[in-house]
Amino acid sequence: MSQLTHFIDTQDFSKDELLKIIQLIRIIKEADKQSCTPKLLEGASLAMLFEEPSTRTRISFEVAMTELGGHALYLKPGEIHLGARESLYDTSKVISRYVDVIMARTLKHSTVVELARTATVPVINGLTDYNHPTQVVCDVVTMLEHAPLGKKLEEFNVTFIGDATNLASSLMMICTQLGMHFTFGGPKRYQPPEAWVKIVEENCKKSGGSFRVTEDPVDAVSKADFIYTDLWWWVGQEAEIPERSKAFMPKYQVNMDLFKKAPSHCKFMHCLPASRGVEVTDEVMDCDRSIIFDQAENRLHTEKGLLVYFVYPRLKRPSKELQAYHKGRIESYFEENFPS
Ligand code: CP
């Protein structure tokens, strides 16, 4: 199986490839739990480009790189030229000459796609206005760890309640790619667009999964093994808050009343950051069936798995003899030019 270079969209990968990535993440997590994370990326560098703020993505990628023996650079707007003062093409080519991998959180999906098209090192998508693939791979890892007794991945019922966000798009795609049964519950105006529905319906034909959309949140959660929600509004949508609040509140808030309508084993998930008391209540966030902090921790293990999957096979491993030869040449240079 030949590997793809970039991680931009789970749709670029087959079910088998996604499962192989997930297997690697789980192997590395087990090593980490025994304080045995191998330094597989020793000497490697990661450029982290952020056009938006981040807690989880920024910290988990940097710590992952450090624990794998590498180094991460945090590059935010105002610090580098990213489509301003020089072309994105030039920036992408130049960064590729310095580092072994790029992770980018960009405002527009087209920016990360263009980075991947032009970079000569792997590019990992750390969230765009369209999708959030690293998050949803982490979410599947988390679901597997909290699988309802006796259920296989292909039997999981996953329900997303709320707005058709970039997270929702990625989640419905990966779940249906892997053969799960996905329900979206939200008001008509904020349901997934036709283009996304077409993709997930194709996924279901191939995988045996299923997909449905409903305006009824109680119906949506009735068989759920996992209920997932996300913010109802984002930075830049402040003017829409009254309208959005009216559309979602109180019907689509994940509170104990709604959570109790799901099977008693159902777990609560949120990619965070959350607006407590808005799309979800404290009572649900902090209950013993909430797995939000396991999910957040798994971002670290997921980033390690992704970095190793995409970078490790590309690293050059020169022989000890070659290393000694070059060290000797540098030592000779100093002996010849600066004799003691
Ligand atoms: N879930 C997530 O991507 O969080 P951050 O925005 O904090 O990175």
What is the number of other CB atoms lying within 10 angstroms of the CB of residue 316?
A: 7
CB distance 271 to ligand 1 below 6 Å: yes
Name the active-site residue from 135, 177, 191, 295: 135
Are both 10-132+296-314 and 147-290 of the same fold?
Answer: yes
Range 147-290 classified under CATH 3.40.50.1370: yes
Name the residue with the closest Cα to ligand 1, atom 3.
57
For residue 57, CA distances in Å to 48, 98, 127 come to 10, 22, 9
What is the structure's pLDDT at 235? 83
What is the structure's pLDDT at 17? 97
Range 10-132+296-314 classified under CATH 3.40.50.1860: no
What is the structure's pLDDT at 1? 47
What is the structure's pLDDT at 80? 81
pTM above 0.85, yes or no: yes
The residue to mutate among 127, 279, 306, having the most atoms of ligand 1 within 8 angstroms of its beta carbon, is: 127
What is the structure's pLDDT at 2? 58
Please report, to the nearest 10 degrees, the dihedral formed by the alpha carbons of residues 53, 271, 32, 148 taken in order.
180
Distance, first Cα to last Cα, the chain: 55
The residue to mutate among 48, 49, 57, having the most atoms of ligand 1 within 8 angstroms of its beta carbon, is: 57
Name the residue with the closest Cα to ligand 1, atom 2.
56
Domain boundaries, the chain: 10-132+296-314, 147-290
Cα-based angle 31, 33, 38 (whole degrees, multiple of 5): 30
pLDDT (tens digit, 0 to 9) for every residue of the chain, 340 residues total?
457 799 999 999 999 999 999 999 999 999 999 999 999 999 999 999 999 999 999 999 999 999 999 999 999 888 888 777 899 999 999 999 999 999 999 999 999 999 999 999 999 999 999 999 999 999 999 999 999 988 999 999 999 999 999 999 999 999 999 999 999 999 999 999 999 999 999 999 999 999 999 999 999 999 999 999 999 998 888 999 999 999 999 999 999 999 999 999 999 999 999 999 999 999 999 999 999 999 999 999 999 999 999 999 999 999 999 999 999 999 999 999 999 8
CB distance 56 to ligand 1 below 6 Å: yes
Nearest to 296 by CA among 60, 28, 105: 60
DSSP 167-182: HHHHHHHHHHHTT-EE
Compute the distance from residue 319 Cα to the ligand 1 centre, in Å: 40
Compute the distance from residue 274 Cα to the ligand 1 centre, in Å: 10
